[in-house]
């Protein structure tokens, strides 16, 4: 996993609530058996005017000029500003893969769906929860000022605006540690191998049926 | 100390906990399908790791499989590769898989309970958000992402933080024509799609006790649509009777011991919930969604809501966007809405009881002329077989429904079953998001009997008036 420490980047305002993972990356792209290459199909149905299928040359497809990601002023954006319940719906990890592949490293919203929130951290993508008022204020500022950038400092847990305002945010200590150091969860868990084995030995006594395989 | 059902399930699976509450949670059962697993297996291979306990895993392809004749395999090449990748991964890692030509193949959330692979008291995970379904058995079941699929394969554990406890109590007796699906849609209509975020929900009360396990599965299935990590129902005699004799269920001495433990799987008197919601089943009417989020739901007796009546501008805009997408005018009576297609299936409503309810409406009637396609997709090969033994397939086909092979099908349209742009569907699935059933497709979520009634009438009708 890529480390996350400090980031300064252009902010893209996506002014919709309940953006679901079907919208972030439509199902036809889930047929890939790879982890990479989803960026060009991020928000595919909103971003292009035609219907996208895997294997198409995306550079030749007609762009929807009304979709925020296509506006010249937001090109190269790495911070996504969103509304409540971002990432709801299916558990597909292709959603954070697509966001990351496109170039986003952080998402700011008043709330996130649970599974998406988890998946984001596992892919070096930092989801930040701010209050509705703080998010509203950021939307206003971004829209008013072309080239608007935020600086996100994970170590300090702060966001700095171009006007030098500082906004503090919360992050789970364990997740912060993993993100700062780019740590692999599986490696960390396997440090507890003895505890897992001890748990299994105890459970085998208490609840032996859990370890049985099918009778047919 | 008095514990909730969720507290008990959680405590019994803690392997290790650090000072800030980050917990290593043991996973008993891992269900796997073809869409969210290839990258996880690839990760294992790249790291030179093996599954911790491959016998805890049960796999089946469901999302990409065709629901028409399968004898020639899958014609879509990308879908075929994904299914073949699952076959190869399961073979390589010694994992039991019900392949496409196995009668036990089906939607993972249908086959887990059907096989007894889902048992009370278990932790059950799958790279699929509707894993909450299995909570119907008094299990702690939730969906995970692909990185976590790899994590569970490699370590049999997940790194988790405990959610808060919510109780949703449905008092009163369930009126005729009302199903688990209507109850859960009514709940989502009340609390919204983020109403359960951060919570594990226990469903209780008289109405929930009255529900069959099938009804409880429909209910827990859509807990995720209320934003909850997991939904669950306490174990009772119905749960135990359902599990008994299934292939993976314990037998003999183990059975008695298991039942003794399962009988403790309910919330203790006086246990603490962070939030409680109470509804009365007698107030619940058949539900129909009108918009592009499951919270955009009304009853069959209502009209399409009017955005002008909404004072919150963000909400008003969202409603208007949904109406434009759905091609609906405000104030249209729900009964005046005519679908083009009808889909009976998905992990919410493709079990034998669902098919019986739909067949009871279809019996002796004909699909209306304006309906281009009405299809019934059983949740598994075994459900299909059972339905055929009961003659349900004949009832459906005589009425003009198509009778298909098991899989996810038009729930998410990853195979050939999909809506064309602008087509409207009465669907028993769980998501009415934009494009979910095909780009530009318009979805109305309903119960199986409501879907069948819409098919034979050509528009939505109140199932309570159909005999
Ligand atoms: S039936 Fe639909 S919701 Fe259920 S697992 Fe399949 S695609 Fe997902």
Percent of chain A predicted with pLDDT > 70: 98
Scanning every residue of chain A, which has its alpha carbon at the shortest distance from the alpha carbon of B147? A122
Q: For atom 2 of ligand 1, which residue has the closest CA? A: B411
* Phi, psi angle pair for A76, to nearest 5°: 75, 10
Taking Cα atoms as reference points, which of A122, A69, A21 lies closest to residue B225?
A21
Query: Would you call A201 an interface residue with chain B, using a CB distance cutoff of 8 Å?
Result: no
Q: Is B408 in the pocket of ligand 1 (CB under 6 A)?
A: yes
- ipTM of this predicted complex? 0.93
Q: Region A72-93: what's the mean pLDDT?
A: 95
Structure confidence at residue A21 (pLDDT): 95
Write down the residue that tokens 């036990």 correspond to: B104
Residue A214 — pLDDT band, cuts 50, 70, 90?
low
Q: For atom 5 of ligand 1, which residue has the closest CA? A: B347
* Phi, psi angle pair for B375, to nearest 5°: -130, 145
Q: In Å, how far is A82's CA from the nearest CA of chain B?
A: 13
Scanning every residue of chain B, which has its alpha carbon at the shortest distance from the alpha carbon of A1? B147
Element (H, E) at B376: strand B373-376
Structure confidence at residue A2 (pLDDT): 76
Q: Region A187-214: what's the mean pLDDT?
A: 92
Structure confidence at residue A179 (pLDDT): 92
Statement: the pTM of the whole predicted model exceeds 0.90: yes
Average pLDDT value over all residues in chain A:
94
Contact criterion met (CB < 8 Å) for A33 and B38: yes
CB–CB of A65/A90 below 8 Å?
no
Residue A216 — pLDDT band, cuts 50, 70, 90?
very low
Structure confidence at residue B56 (pLDDT): 96
End-to-end Cα, chain B, rounded Å:
50
How far from B8 is each of B15, B27, B196, B231, B240, CA to CA, in Å? 14, 15, 20, 14, 18
Structure confidence at residue B166 (pLDDT): 98
CB–CB of A127/A120 below 8 Å?
yes
Structure confidence at residue A192 (pLDDT): 95
Cα B131 to ligand 1 centroid, rounded to whole Å: 10
* Phi, psi angle pair for B278, to nearest 5°: -120, 135
> Measured between alpha carbons, how far is A75 from B267 in angstroms, rounded to an integer?
53
Q: In whole angstroms, what separates CA B62 from the centre of its chain?
A: 13
Query: Would you call B176 an interface residue with chain A, using a CB distance cutoff of 8 Å?
Result: no
**What is the DSSP track for B303-332?**
BPPPGGG---HHHHHHHHHHHHHHT--TT-
Structure confidence at residue A32 (pLDDT): 86
Helix, strand, or coil (residue B455) = helix
- pLDDT at A215 > cutoff 80: no
Scanning every residue of chain B, which has its alpha carbon at the shortest distance from the alpha carbon of A23? B434
Cα A97 to ligand 1 centroid, rounded to whole Å: 21
Chain A residues touching B316 at Cβ < 8 A: none
Contact criterion met (CB < 8 Å) for B78 and A31: yes
Q: Is B430 in the pocket of ligand 1 (CB under 6 A)?
A: yes
CB–CB of B38/B89 below 8 Å?
yes
Ranges in chain B, pLDDT < 70: none
Atom of ligand 1 nearest to the CA of B430: 3
> Measured between alpha carbons, how far is B389 from B395 in angstroms, rounded to an integer?
12
Structure confidence at residue A34 (pLDDT): 87
> Measured between alpha carbons, how far is B88 from A19 in angstroms, rounded to an integer?
35
Structure confidence at residue B406 (pLDDT): 97
Scanning every residue of chain A, which has its alpha carbon at the shortest distance from the alpha carbon of B156? A196
Contact criterion met (CB < 8 Å) for B78 and A199: no
> Measured between alpha carbons, how far is B222 from B283 in angstroms, rounded to an integer?
20
pLDDT tens digits for range B149-187: 999 999 999 999 999 999 999 999 999 999 999 999 999
Query: Would you call B75 an interface residue with chain A, using a CB distance cutoff of 8 Å?
Result: no
How far from B289 is each of B133, B294, B409, B445, CA to CA, in Å? 20, 6, 20, 5
Cα B130 to ligand 1 centroid, rounded to whole Å: 7
| Residues 47-86, chain A, touching B (beta carbon < 8 A) | 51, 54-55, 83-85
**What is the DSSP track for B188-230?**
HHHH-TTTTTTEEEEEESHHHHHS-HHHHHHHHHTTGGGT-SE
Task: Tell me the residue length of chain B.
Answer: 467
Q: Could you tell me which residues come within 8 angstroms of residue A136 by beta carbon, excluding any fewer than 6 positions away?
A: none
Residue in B78, B119, B249 closest to A54 by CB:
B78
Taking Cα atoms as reference points, which of B373, B383, B374, B326 lies closest to residue B349?
B383
pLDDT tens digits for range A144-177: 999 999 999 999 999 999 999 999 999 999 999 9
> Measured between alpha carbons, how far is A161 from A151 in angstroms, rounded to an integer?
7
Write down the residue that tokens 């930092």 correspond to: A126
CB–CB of A215/B248 below 8 Å?
yes
């Amino acid at each position: 996993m890529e480390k996350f420490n400090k980031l300064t980047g252009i902010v893209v305002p996506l002014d919709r609530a309940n953006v679901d993972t079907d919208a972030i990356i439509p199902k036809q792209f889930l047929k890939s058996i790879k982890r990479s290459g989803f960026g060009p199909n991020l928000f595919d149905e909103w971003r292009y005017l035609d219907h996208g299928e895997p294997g198409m040359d995306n550079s030749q497809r007609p762009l929807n000029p009304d979709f925020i990601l296509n506006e010249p002023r937001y090109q190269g954006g790495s911070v996504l500003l969103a509304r409540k319940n971002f990432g709801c719906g299916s558990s597909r990890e292709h959603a954070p893969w697509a966001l990351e592949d496109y170039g986003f490293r952080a998402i700011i919203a008043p709330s996130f769906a649970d599974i998406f929130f988890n998946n984001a951290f596992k892919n070096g993508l930092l989801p930040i929860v701010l209050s509705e008022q703080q998010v509203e204020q950021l939307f206003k500022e971004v829209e008013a000022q072309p080239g608007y950038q935020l600086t996100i400092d994970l170590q300090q847990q702060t966001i700095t605006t171009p006007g030098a305002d500082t906004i503090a945010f919360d992050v789970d200590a364990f997740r912060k540690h993993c993100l700062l150091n780019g740590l692999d969860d599986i490696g960390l868990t396997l440090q507890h191998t003895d505890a897992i084995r001890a748990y299994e030995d105890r459970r085998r006594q208490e609840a032996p049926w859990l370890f049985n395989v099918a009778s047919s | 100390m008095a514990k909730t059902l969720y507290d008990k399930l959680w405590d019994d699976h803690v392997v290790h906990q650090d000072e800030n509450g980050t917990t290593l949670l043991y996973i008993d059962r891992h269900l796997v399908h073809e869409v969210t697993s290839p990258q996880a297996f690839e990760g294992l291979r790249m790291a030179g790791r093996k599954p911790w306990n491959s016998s805890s895993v049960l796999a089946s392809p469901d999302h990409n499989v065709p629901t028409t004749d399968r004898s020639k395999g899958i014609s879509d090449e990308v879908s075929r590769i994904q299914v073949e990748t699952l076959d190869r991964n399961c073979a390589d890692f010694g994992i039991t898989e019900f392949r496409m030509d196995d009668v036990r193949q089906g939607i993972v959330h249908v086959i887990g309970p059907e096989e007894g692979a889902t048992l009370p008291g278990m932790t059950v995970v799958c790279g699929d958000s509707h894993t909450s379904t299995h909570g119907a058995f008094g299990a702690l079941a939730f969906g995970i992402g692909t990185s976590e699929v790899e994590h569970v394969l490699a370590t049999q554990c997940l790194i988790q933080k405990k959610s808060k406890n919510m109780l949703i109590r449905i008092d009163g007796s369930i009126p005729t024509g009302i199903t688990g699906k209507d109850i859960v849609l009514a709940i989502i209509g009340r609390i919204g799609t983020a109403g359960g975020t951060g919570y594990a929900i226990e469903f209780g009360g008289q109405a929930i006790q009255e529900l069959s396990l099938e009804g409880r599965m429909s209910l827990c299935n859509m807990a995720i649509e209320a934003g909850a990590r997991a939904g669950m129902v306490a174990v009772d005699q119905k749960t135990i009777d359902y599990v008994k004799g299934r292939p993976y269920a314990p037998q003999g001495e183990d059975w008695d011991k298991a039942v003794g433990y399962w009988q403790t799987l309910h919330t203790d008197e006086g246990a603490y919930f962070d939030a409680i919601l109470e509804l009365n089943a007698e107030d619940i009417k058949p539900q129909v969604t009108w918009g592009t989020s499951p919270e955009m739901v009304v009853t069959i007796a209502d009209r399409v809501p009017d955005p002008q009546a909404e004072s919150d501008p963000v909400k008003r805009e969202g409603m208007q966007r949904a109406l434009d997408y759905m091609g609906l005018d405000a104030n249209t009576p729900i009964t005046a809405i005519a679908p083009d297609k009808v889909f009976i299936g998905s992990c919410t409503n493709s079990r034998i009881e669902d098919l019986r309810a739909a067949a009871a409406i279809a019996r002796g009637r004909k699909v209306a002329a304006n309906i281009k396609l009405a299809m019934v997709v059983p949740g598994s090969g075994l459900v299909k077989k059972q339905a055929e033994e009961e003659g349900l397939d004949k009832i459906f086909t005589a009425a003009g429904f198509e009778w298909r092979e098991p899989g996810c099908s038009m729930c998410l349209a990853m195979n050939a079953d999909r809506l064309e742009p602008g087509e409207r569907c009465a669907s028993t699935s769980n998501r009415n998001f934009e494009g979910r059933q095909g780009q530009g497709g318009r979805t109305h979520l309903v119960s199986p009997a409501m879907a069948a009634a819409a098919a034979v009438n050509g528009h939505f009708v109140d199932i309570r008036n159909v005999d």
